[in-house]
Structure 1
Amino acid sequence: MFGQVIKNFGINVNALNERNTVSSGDLITGHISFGLTKQTKITSITMTVTGKVHVHWSTSGGGGRKGRNRRRNFSGKVEYFNFSSIILAENSATGVASRLEPGTHVYPFTCQLPLGNFPSSFRGAHGEIVYSLTVAIHRPWHMSKTFVTELNFVHHINPNQPELWAPLSGTNSMTVCSLLCTSGALSMTVSTERKAFRPGETVKIICDIDNASSQTITPEVKLQQKQAFYTQNKVHSRMIVKTLVYKTGQPISGHTSDVHAELMVTIPSLSVPSISNCSILEVEYPIKVSLKVRACSELTVLVPIILCDASVSAPPPSYL
């Protein structure tokens, strides 16, 4: 059996940075290593690098056999690249397989990722974006044996885009009713100092509130992650919204105006960057600020921030 012949197979990719990520156009280097328990003929060792996205979800038709028959499946696939190279080949002159001796064998490899606008690696509720490196060992009269390692791909968002530095702001208002009578107007303006942030950073959320109603209200802040999945033609979709951070502010008494409140929300450090450059999978990060009003619908303002992998803590330099 193959597993009794080959031992301790490993794919080792040299890290390009402290986070061990790769990006479009990067040159990837590393080596494979394995041990053989006896002399073995190897036809070839190949390496394939792929980047692809796949989404899938189902809708239930209810219980019972009829319900199962009405169940519908939706899916979509996009392949960004798929290319192969040879790490070890048979003798080109004779066409004879290489005969490897027992012991440890190490083979270096080099490959360059193609240039392109590819989205970051991601695994979500109904889909995933995966970049992988697969090594296959081919032997005469045997099925090939494959070994896979995933690459943590990051799409670099250019931090020098002016729109990423501009403050974000949103306003909403409503009339509050109490016991079928008009109680007063409620308005709120929410702003952040900029649009782009990095995982691990803290966002200062500035709320300017006028509460002309008779009710006491409390501001609530949610940092959400919105995952959207689409079929190829975007006729069908599925959306998942997760709350990553939840905070409440101080209560605001009725008939109080010009209230200035600041709430600090720290983005989880393991959050993936925003994904907007994939046709069938998107990841967004809206900040939802709400004012809860008893016996009324809540007043809500959404502020959509962008998560990127580059630091955006200071204005970009200007050149004359």
Structure 2
Amino acid sequence: MPSIKSLTMTCDGLNDYGTVSEGDTLTGKVTVVLIKECAVESFFVKAKGDASVRWSKKSGDRTYTYSAHKRYFKVKHFLIPEESRETVIQPGTHVYEFSMRIPQGSMPSTYRGSHGKIVYKLEAKLSRSWRADRTAEKELQFVSKSLPNLHSLMSQQMGSTDKEMGFFSKGKVHMDVVVDRTAYAPGDTLTIVAKVNNSSSSEMTPKFSLIREVVYRAEGNVKHENSVIQKVSEHCIKPKTQREVKCDLRIPRDLTQTIHNCDLISVQYHLKAYLDISFAFDPEIMFPVFICPPELVPGLQPGVAAGPYPVWAAGHPSNTDFPSPAGAMGPYPAGAFGGPSNRSFPPPAVAAGPYPYGQPGAHSYSAPPPAYPAHPPHVSEGYKKPVPQQPPLYGDPFTSPSSVLHPPPSAPSFHPPPSAPDIHPPPFSHVAPTAPTYNPLPSAPMMNTDFLSQSDEAPPAYSLLFPPSNTENSKDKL
């Protein structure tokens, strides 16, 4: 008859989710029921965390197996003192309490995959001489707290793509996609807004997929596994059509969180937004998605845009033909050049001279008076900041609802160097050039010739200077 009837273990819960993390203290009880007295060599409880991978690959006639193992921690709590070689326990029910602390450090969350696993266990072990050991195990649901900056993961993501159509159709396709954030908990809803400008002659369907990528590493080799977790398809977009698409993608509640701090196994998620076009390569945009435990995902913080539209900053690279939507905090940040503000007209045009505005020693020349009154000091302070080069300076107010009507710019001022200003005359105020000098003919010198200075030549004959009239010639003939 065996002496041990049962060996059981219970662990106290730390939270409502039944998870443990780095630095937590594990407490619980181990219950052993003996039918008769038992001589025990050791009796302890240990907690450990291990990661292991293994897969096989066939090449030709040979099969190669790759495997790796890593231990993250192991701690023990002895229920019977370790120094005692043998302790006799009397028949009956015996309850032992234990307490141990999980060490600090970056450790990955629990995971089980097709070619590897990350497992955390709590094990009670009773050893006897010349007898098999009795054990009781309990797997711990470990959740890593070694996460990146969650505040940065709560901001919006933006992306765009273009495609020139090829053989079977003509035109161009442009798509802008906005995702409300990066970090999500299992069960959350991922909100997507896409703007599609179909300037081609083909129909296309916007589609969105949540993809999981698992990578196993061992002995310098890598094995990839990709799977589609969720997929959403929208209505077809006709040719020569612009449309805005908004959809929600539900994240499964049993989805494994992102694993980024394990050398053997990594689990990553991506949102793939693409346009399904027949007989053409699909333009796509990939967004990272970080799955966090529910207790670690904070709500939207004050000051973070909660709507589906981004806070479109001036100068953001974009090829879209759509106007900028109105965000929760405004379409432009405070002080952004080119965006609507409390000014009624934009900063003056950049001067054409060699020095920028406000540089010490730069000379300016008076320009025509402005067509509008001067701003108060607190408003005009914005003009002291350097103006970024962002074309176009004046947009078409009828193509975008966020455009602002601006008066025409004033005449630019000229800023020559302080040492030797070089002012160019206006394009139409030319100085008359001097008349070219003509060499007089020997037979008929010009009237402005200085005869006194020509001492080497004889003065011209009187008849050459004053020819006779017709009457005098007629009298001579008579």
- The reply to whether TM is greater than 0.5 is yes
Match of 1:153 in 2: 142
How far apart, CA to CA, are the structure 2 residues paired with 1:96 and 1:305?
Answer: 54
Match of 1:264 in 2: 248
Match of 1:311 in 2: 297
Q: How does 1:167-246 map to 2 (within 5 A)?
A: 167-179=156-168, 182-231=169-218, 235-246=220-231
Q: Secondary structure at the match of 1:88?
A: coil
How far apart, CA to CA, are the structure 1 residues paired with 2:6 and 2:118?
Answer: 28
Q: How does 1:17-32 map to 2 (within 5 A)?
A: 17-32=15-30
How far apart, CA to CA, are the structure 2 residues paired with 1:87 and 1:278?
Answer: 33
Match of 2:72 in 1: 80
Higher relative contact order (CA 8 A, sep 6+): 1
Q: Secondary structure at the match of 1:177?
A: coil
Q: Secondary structure at the match of 2:153?
A: helix
Selected match of 1:49 from 30, 38, 47 = 47
One-letter amino acid matched to 1:87: L
Q: Secondary structure at the match of 2:166?
A: strand
One-letter amino acid matched to 2:226: V
Asked whether the 8 Å contact 1:157–1:308 carries over to 2, the reply is no
Larger gyration radius, structure 1 or structure 2: 2
Asked whether the 8 Å contact 1:43–1:89 carries over to 2, the reply is no
How far apart, CA to CA, are the structure 2 residues paired with 1:161 and 1:268?
Answer: 21
How far apart, CA to CA, are the structure 1 residues paired with 2:138 and 2:274?
Answer: 43
Per-residue deviation, 1:158: 5.3
How far apart, CA to CA, are the structure 2 residues paired with 1:40 and 1:228?
Answer: 48
Change (3 A) 1:161 1:186: same
Change (3 A) 1:157 1:197: farther
How far apart, CA to CA, are the structure 2 residues paired with 1:8 and 1:192?
Answer: 54
Identity of aligned pairs, percent? 28
How far apart, CA to CA, are the structure 2 residues paired with 1:173 and 1:74?
Answer: 42
Match of 2:121 in 1: 132
Match of 2:318 in 1: none
Per-residue CA distance 1:150-202 (angstroms, 9 max, x = gap): 111001255864321221122222122243xx511112222211111111100
Aligned alpha-carbon RMSD (Å): 2.0
Per-residue deviation, 1:317: 9.2
How far apart, CA to CA, are the structure 1 residues paired with 2:149 and 2:56?
Answer: 41
How far apart, CA to CA, are the structure 1 residues paired with 2:144 and 2:265?
Answer: 14
How far apart, CA to CA, are the structure 1 residues paired with 2:302 and 2:221?
Answer: 40
How far apart, CA to CA, are the structure 1 residues paired with 2:266 and 2:105?
Answer: 18
Per-residue CA distance 1:13-56 (angstroms, 9 max, x = gap): 10000111000000110011121122211122022221111111
Structure 1 stretches of at least 4 aligned residues deviating more than 6 Å after TM superposition? none
TM-score under structure 2 length normalisation: 0.60
How far apart, CA to CA, are the structure 2 residues paired with 1:71 and 1:208?
Answer: 50
2:302 counterpart of 1:302? no
How far apart, CA to CA, are the structure 2 residues paired with 1:38 and 1:153?
Answer: 38
Per-residue deviation, 1:316: 6.5
Per-residue deviation, 1:140: 2.2
Match of 2:90 in 1: 101
Per-residue deviation, 1:147: 2.5
Change (3 A) 1:96 1:50: closer
Asked whether the 8 Å contact 1:164–1:194 carries over to 2, the reply is yes
Change (3 A) 1:167 1:96: closer
How far apart, CA to CA, are the structure 2 residues paired with 1:80 and 1:317?
Answer: 39
Q: Secondary structure at the match of 1:71?
A: strand
Match of 1:143 in 2: 132
Selected match of 2:34 from 30, 33, 36 = 36
Per-residue deviation, 1:242: 1.4
TM-score under structure 1 length normalisation: 0.88
How far apart, CA to CA, are the structure 1 residues paired with 2:146 and 2:75?
Answer: 25
Q: Which ranges of structure 1 fall in alignment gaps of 5 or more residues?
A: none
Per-residue deviation, 1:96: 5.6
Asked whether the 8 Å contact 2:107–2:146 carries over to 1, the reply is no
One-letter amino acid matched to 1:227: V
Match of 1:89 in 2: 81
Selected match of 2:267 from 272, 276, 283 = 283
Asked whether the 8 Å contact 1:176–1:185 carries over to 2, the reply is yes
Q: Number of paired residues?
A: 302
Per-residue deviation, 1:126: 1.2
Select the structure that is richer in strand: 1
